[in-house]
């Protein structure tokens, strides 16, 4: 296996670049998203894209939000095997995409003791209120 990788230097370089990019991206993007997450996210109050009057703007934002979510989930899966914050990236990616049963899955994922403590630790270091995961179960 090692000989195969060493013989294919291009593949080794590509895998190394992906590893570095996902690691650096997770260090920058994940804390930013966690800090800007509303502390009442699980309260059941629905924030709508209908704040934007023009339908084209709503659809563009919806598409970009879902694409970003899928990219974060893919990066998180990759980071499960390389250095980075894999589970946290997957969790944040779930916040962005839309699918049936999303709230229930998010709640189950985010109430994991380890994930909840990491999220609240990052928020407290940034001077933000902790997220109360016991507000309302969807």
Confidence grade of residue 46 (pLDDT, cut at 50, 70, 90): low
Confidence grade of residue 67 (pLDDT, cut at 50, 70, 90): very high
Task: Give the other-Cβ count within 10 Å of 133's Cβ.
Answer: 18
Look at residue 18 and tell me if it is in a domain: yes
Given a contact cutoff of 8 angstroms between Cβ atoms, the answer to whether 94 and 106 are in contact is: yes
Bigger pLDDT: 94 or 138?
94
SS3 63: helix
Look at residue 67 and tell me if it is in a domain: yes
Look at residue 6 and tell me if it is in a domain: yes
Query: d(Cα 104, Cα 122) in Å, to the nearest integer?
Result: 23
Look at residue 93 and tell me if it is in a domain: yes
Domain extent for 44 = 2-125
Look at residue 49 and tell me if it is in a domain: yes
Bigger pLDDT: 108 or 45?
108
Average pLDDT of span 5-18 = 74
Look at residue 36 and tell me if it is in a domain: yes
Give the range among 19-23, 68-72, 112-116 with minimum mean pLDDT: 19-23
Number of domains in the chain: 1
Residues in the chain, overall count? 138
Average pLDDT of span 46-58 = 68
Look at residue 136 and tell me if it is in a domain: no
Look at residue 82 and tell me if it is in a domain: yes
pTM over 0.75: no
Phi and psi at 62, nearest 5°, equal: -60, -45
Query: d(Cα 58, Cα 94) in Å, to the nearest integer?
Result: 19
């Amino acid at each position: 296996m090692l000989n195969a990788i060493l013989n294919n230097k291009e593949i080794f370089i590509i895998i190394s670049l992906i590893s570095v990019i996902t690691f650096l991206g997770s260090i920058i993007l994940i804390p930013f998203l966690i800090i800007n997450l509303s502390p009442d996210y699980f309260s059941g109050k629905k924030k709508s894209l209908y704040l934007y009057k023009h339908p084209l703007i709503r659809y563009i934002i919806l598409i970009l939000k879902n694409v970003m979510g899928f990219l974060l989930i893919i990066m998180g899966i990759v980071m499960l095997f390389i250095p980075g914050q894999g589970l946290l990236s997957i969790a944040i990616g779930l916040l962005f995409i839309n699918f049936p049963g999303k709230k229930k899955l998010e709640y189950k994922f985010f109430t994991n003791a380890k994930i909840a403590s990491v999220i609240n630790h990052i928020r407290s270091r940034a001077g933000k209120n902790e997220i109360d995961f016991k507000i309302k179960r969807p």
